Amino acid sequence: MTRSTTKLKELIFTKLNNDTALRSLLGGLNKIKHANPLQKSDYPCVVYSLYIDIDNPYNIDNANSEVVKTRLHVEVFTEDTSSKIADSIEDRIYYLLNGKKLSNTNYLVYTCYRVSREEIYEPDIETWRILTKYDLTNVPK
């Protein structure tokens, strides 16, 4: 069983980008990026990145004795003095990812669960950043 980081990035992007409610909260298209945040003038935006891979060779449930866990970081950036917009965006992302499966017909199914959420406000630039971490674990089809 092989895994593809590129394919996993595509699955995450597709899951988030295809949701019309999330796109509406963000104010349109091109507001979801991998790894590189948009300029402040493009806020609100969502930035996601894969953080770590943990390979466990002792999982006997998998035909190849391999389980892969990936930490997904999802950051919401908004320019506002209130966290209301950032909270709404993060709530929608939580709805789309937590307890859900990321899959398509040609790839492994990844189950996704939130493990932490951190709010950061930068008063000098009136910007909210909410960092949410999810664990993704592959499940063979």
Three-state DSSP class for 57? coil
Q: Mean pLDDT over all residues of the chain?
A: 82
Q: Is 79 left (phi over 0), alpha (psi -120 to 50) or beta?
A: beta
Structural domain including 16 reads 5-139
Three-state DSSP class for 132? strand
Q: Which two tokens mark 123?
A: 């008063």
- Contact in structure between 136 and 112 (CB atoms under 8 Å): yes
pTM: 0.83
Contacts of 125 (CB under 8 A, 6+ apart): 40, 79
Q: Count of domains in the chain? A: 1
62-104 pLDDT, tens digit each: 455 455 678 899 999 999 888 999 999 999 999 999 988 877 5
- Where residue 68 sits, what CATH number does that domain have? 3.30.70.1700
User: What stretch of H or E contains 32?
Assistant: strand 32-34
